[in-house]
Structure formats: C-alpha cells, structure tokens
Amino acid sequence: MRELKFLNQFFWNYRGRLLLGVVFICLSNYFQVLQPQVIREALDLVIEQLNNYRLYAGFGDVRDEYFGILSYTLMFFGGLVLLLALLMGFFLFLTRQTIIVMSRLIEYDLREVIFDHYENLSLDFYKRNNTGDLMSRITEDVNKVRMYLGPAVMYCANLISTILLVVLAMLAVSPTLTLYTLIPLPLLAISIYYVSNVIHTRSTFIQQQLSKLTSIAQEVFSGIRVVKSYVREEQQVNYFAEESDRYKNMSMNLAKVDAWFFPLMVFMVGASTIITVYVGGLQVVAGNISAGNIAEFVIYVNMLTWPVTAIGWIASIVQQAAASQKRINEFLTTETSIKDPAPDERRALRGEVTFEHVAFTYPDTGIKALKDVHFHLKAGEKMAIIGRTGSGKTTIADLLVRMYDVTGGRILIDGKDIREVGLSNLRRRIGLVPQDVFLFSDTIHNNIAFGADHDPSREEVEQFAKYASVYEDIQDITLGFDAMVGERGVTLSGGQKQRVSIARALIKHPDIVILDDSLSAVDTNTEQRILGYFNEALADKTSIIITHRIYGHLKFDKIIVLEDGGIAEMGTHEELIANGGYYSEIVERQMAEEV
C-alpha cells in the first residue's frame, strides 16, 4: 500500500473535486436512507387506515371518506419516494461527475508524467527493458491505478456513508433487530473478498495468455513472408490453436468462479432478510416495533448489500493498484544515467572533435566495444571510419551524441568534455543519421521536417530532399511528400529510407554530421550526388562517415580503421594505401569489383 502514497500529490491537485464528490455522495445516501422511513410511515398508515376502514363496515359514507383519505395518502407518499429517488439520483450523478472525472484527469496527468520520464531515460534503460513492458506500464498499469483513483475511492466513500447513515437509522428503530440483521453481512464481505481474489488471480493469467496470443498473431503476420516461403503455415496454425486452447480452458475456469459470485450474494442477502423478518416479527408481536419497521429493515438490508459486497471488491482493486503502482514507481524512480549539465544552453559548435584514449564497455553485456581510441579532428575536417562488422564504429557515433557516456578517457568538442556541455544543445547541433533507419508513421514531409527546430516550409523540405538525392523518388510516389510511410503507408526501399533520414538530419543545419553506414543501400551515382553536397554546402562542417566502402568522391582528411574496438590504422587515403593493411585490401577489392 506504501506505493499508493505516490498518488496523494495528484489527489491534492484535485482536492476540490474530491471533497465535493464526498459531500455529494453523503447527500445522495442521505436521501436514499430517507426512502425506507417514508415507506414505513406509508405502510403503518395504510394498515391503520385499513383497520379503520373495516371498522366502519356498516357506514357507507364514512367508509368512502376513509377510502379517499387512504388513496390520497398513498399518492402523497408515492410522490415523496419519487422525489427522494430523484434527489438521490441527482447527487449520484454529481458524485460521478466529480470523483470519476477526477480519476480520469489524474490518469491523464499520470500518463504524461510517465511518458515524459520515459523519454528522458537513457538508451541502456531501453536495452534493459523490453518495449512491451514499457507499454504495459503506461497503459494497463495506469488503468488499474485509475480504478483505485476513481471507483475504489467512490465506493469507499459510499460504503462509509451508507453504513453510517443506515446503521444509525436502524439503531433508532431497534438495536436488537439491527444486531441480528447485520450478522450475515461481514460473512458476505469476507466471502466476496475471497471470490474476488480468485477471480483476480485467474483473470491475470488469462490476461497474460491473451497477450501471448496477440504477440504470436502479430509475429506471424509481420513475418508472413518468411512463414509462407518456408511453408510453415500449418505449424503456425497448430501452435496458435494450442495456445488458444489453453486460453479457452483458463476462461472456463474463471467462468466457474464467476458463477459463484451472484448466488453467494443472493444467499447472504436472503439469509439476512429471513432473520430480519423472523426477529422483526417477534418484536412486532412483543409490541416493540411496527409492521412497517420490518419493511423498512428489509430495504435497509438491500441498501447495505452493494456497499458491503464492494468491500471485497475495493480490497481487490486496491491490491491490484498497489502492485501496478509499484511497477510504475520502479521506472519513475529510475534516474537517467546521462545527465544534462546545462539544459538551457543554446550555441553553435565549431566542430572540433577529440577522442582522448576513449574506452567503452556496454553496461549490461560487459562487451568492451572501444579500447584506447585516440584521434583529433579539426573543425570542418572530414573523417571516415572503416572497419569490420562489430569493430565499434556505431559505438563511436553513439558516444559522440552521448547515448552512453565513455567508461574511460574523454571526448572533447571544441576543447570541452562533452559531459560538461549542454546535452540537448549537443544533440541539436549534431546531425546523426543512424544505421538502423527509423521513420515515423507519418507523411514524408513530416518525417523530414521532424529534424528541424522550426516549422519548415514545403520548399525547404523539398530542397533538403534534393540535397539527400531523394526528391525524384518522392515525386514518383502518387501523393509525393504527402504520402504516408510506415505500416499503413507506402513502403519505401531501404535506400530511399536512408536518404529521407539523411534529409531529416541535414534540415537541422547541424554543425557536425555523422552518417552511420547511411549510403550502404544507394548506388554510386546517388552516392556521388549526396557526397557532392558534403563537399560544397557542408565544406566547413565537420563530418564523420562510417562506412564499409571507400568513397572516392569525398576527400577525407583522416581515415581510421577500427579493429576489435581499437584503431588499427589511421591516416590519409594515400598513407593508408602505402601502409598495405586492411584499408588497402578493401580498396583493391572494391576496385576489382568495379572493374
């Protein structure tokens, strides 16, 4: 329950609504409790009038008069009960409008807080936790917490005020009858609590099985090309059927327990009613209470049924909410490992990059990705990083934008340790085109404009698409720049995606550009055009190009060859050719391929 304390600040923010909600629920219950009293009065009066009516059996006129009074009285009481019901309903409406609306507002705030926190967490957090888990905490767990914020709070206030008002009204009539009537109710609360718990446990398993089914289906449909080409349809159907069967059995088990819920409730309420009628009857005979009081008590018992049943239900909701809030808090208390020392910093970078004996070990796997990497790039210089797969090239790019912090040595930009410069400013000023291109499910225009700090015009977006050599490709698509990409849109080829991603990085007007293997899927002519832009428009910008291929079109000031996380070769094209190492090997291989 400690976990739920976190939510008190949200209750405090909406304290006005909460307080009003409690007042409304008390008023609603007050009018509800008046109803049985009116009914009792009506019943007692009817009995009395009936006796009188019978008494005047021989006196026609007086009899008729009594009959008139009786029907008038009944109508009056009927109207009164209706008025009370209306008042009760009106305040119940206001209760829901305050407490349930409050819970929805808190749910919204909570989601925003979690989303905002998620976004600020570093990449290693995302590597440690899978996306499904992150999603379920922000959706399902928040939903469960919402049940506590709204319904549980409302039913709890309802429970307390109903019990208080009803028991006070009952005690005013007969303490003995009250005691007898209330005996079965704690039993009802306890049994409902147990049944609710069993229902909850089984529902959780069902929920898990359902998400398993969903992910199986999703994976099969996403990988349908592989499934079809390996003729594995039947195998997948069987697997799905097996899991589906398990889901069905679990649901059947739940249905059995569910079936107990209402009979149990009806049984307990029935027992309470019988006791009331029996003990009440004895009291009427003894002259302690009136016959109308029995009817009044029977209505009270019915009034108490739902709130008492709700005890078990509330307890179950609170338990689930506490478990969910614990999971949410786990992430909310996770601090980002990448701190921003100057969030408000905004300045251009000159573009001087220095790696001083940089070492880096991935935090979770312990893989030593970089060892003693040492180089210096003057502002405006162009550098290529070449190396076998897994040699640490991407790691260099990630460290430069502080996706991770170095574990040894330091990285300087314009002579300053990057851990001391503004993180957002650093990322804003570096245009990184990552190796695994990701485009949002949005229009091509918006995907490119995403990179800009301002809201760029169509002309500007088109201009950068031209620089990235993807303009003509986009023109060939029916909707052009307004075409959607992603799951429900056009499918761009690997090379087109890479170039859209380059346009997105360039529209930032970055001071340092890093291309991480971003030209691997483009042909030589296109590559030539893109690199032409680097030679001309970006001539004074520092550029780092990670590649498996040698680009003859761009004159690199420095080329480094990485091997097992360390620099194996470093120099200009001519120097490295003269060296006769890995670099000259690929140059030779590439030349042979081109021939």
Residue 434 binding ligand ATP, by CB under 6 A: no
Q: How far is the CB of 529 from ligand ATP (least distance, A)?
A: 24
Instruction: Find the distance separating the first CA and the last CA of the chain, reported in whole Å.
Output: 73
- Residue from 280, 292, 312, 387 touching ligand ATP (CB under 6 A): that is 387
Site string for ligand ATP, 198-237 (x = CB under 6 A): ----------------------------------------
Are β-strands 558-563 and 408-413 bridged in parallel, bridged antiparallel, or unpaired?
unpaired
* Nearest distance, CB of residue 16 and ligand ATP, angstroms: 48
Pick from 96, 92, 97, 53: which is nearest to 71 by CA?
53
The answer to whether residue 127 forms part of the interface with ligand ATP (CB under 6 A) is: yes
Classify burial at 546, counting beta carbons within 10 Å of its beta carbon; exposed 0-12, middle 13-18, buried 19 or more.
buried
Say how far apart CA 544 and CA 44 lie, in whole Å: 95
The one segment of 319-327, 391-399, 476-484, 503-511 that binds ligand ATP by CB under 6 A: 391-399
Q: How far is the CB of 126 from ligand ATP (least distance, A)?
A: 9
Q: What is the dihedral of CA 538, 544, 546, 551, to 10 degrees?
A: 50
Question: What is the C-alpha to C-alpha distance for residues 219 and 213, in angstroms, rounded to an integer?
Answer: 10
Can residue 389 be called a binding residue for ligand ATP (CB under 6 A)? yes
> Measured from the CB atom, is 84 or 396 closer to ligand ATP?
396
Interface of this chain with ligand ATP, residues 441 to 470, rule: CB under 6 A: none
| Residue closer to ligand ATP (CB basis): 137 or 393 | 393
Shortest Å distance, C-beta 123 to ligand ATP: 7
Joined tokens for residue 140: 């399902």
Would you say 341 or 390 has its CB closer to ligand ATP? 390
User: How many CA atoms are closer than 13 Å to the CA of 270, on its beta-carbon side?
Assistant: 6
CA-based radius of gyration for the chain: 37
Produce one character per residue of 428-456: b if its CB has 16 or more CB atoms within 10 Å, e if not.
Answer: bbbbbbbeebebeeebbbbbbbebbeeeb
Residue for token pair 């480094």: 560
Identity of the residue, 127 or 339, whose beta carbon is nearer to ligand ATP in the bound complex = 127
C-alpha span between 166 and 221 (Å, rounded): 58
**Residue list 319-378, contact with ligand ATP (CB under 6 A):** 362, 365, 367, 369
Q: How far is the CB of 360 from ligand ATP (least distance, A)?
A: 9
Task: Compute the least distance from the CB of residue 132 to ligand ATP, in Å.
Answer: 18
Q: By the 8 A CB rule, do 21 and 95 touch?
A: yes
Stretch that binds ligand ATP, among 262-270, 292-300, 386-394, 576-584 (CB under 6 A): 386-394
The residue from 390, 420, 453, 458 that contacts ligand ATP (CB under 6 A) is: 390
Q: Quick one: 194 or 362, whose CB is closer to ligand ATP?
A: 362
Binding residues for ligand ATP, total number by CB under 6 A: 14
Nearest distance, CB of residue 397 and ligand ATP, angstroms:
8
Minimal CA–CA distance to 320: which of 101, 132, 152? 152
**Interface residue with ligand ATP, options 40, 202, 393, 429 (CB under 6 A):** 393
Binders of ligand ATP among 168-187, rule CB under 6 A? none
Closest separation between CB of residue 378 and ligand ATP, Å? 24
Out of 209, 324, 394, 496, the only residue in the binding site for ligand ATP (CB under 6 A) is: 394
* Nearer to ligand ATP among residue 26 and residue 430 (C-beta): 430
Distance CA 542, CA 375 (A): 14
* Choice from 435, 446, 520, 584 touching ligand ATP (CB under 6 A): 435
Nearest Cα neighbor of 39 from 80, 87, 67, 69 is 80
Alpha-carbon gap, residue 172 to 316, rounded angstroms? 33
Contact residue for ligand ATP among 395, 447, 498, 547 (CB under 6 A): 395
Give the nearer residue to ligand ATP in terms of CB position, either 247 or 375.
Answer: 375
Q: Which of 307, 299, 47 is nearest to 173 (CA)?
A: 299
Q: Is 479 among the residues that bind ligand ATP (CB under 6 A)?
A: no
Q: Report residue 317: phi and psi, to 5°.
A: -65, -45
CB of 423 to ligand ATP, least distance (A): 19
Q: Which stretches within 121-183 are classed as H helix?
A: 123-128, 131-136, 142-147, 153-173, 175-182
What does the binding site for ligand ATP look like in residue numbers (CB under 6 A)? 127, 362, 365, 367, 369, 387, 389-395, 435
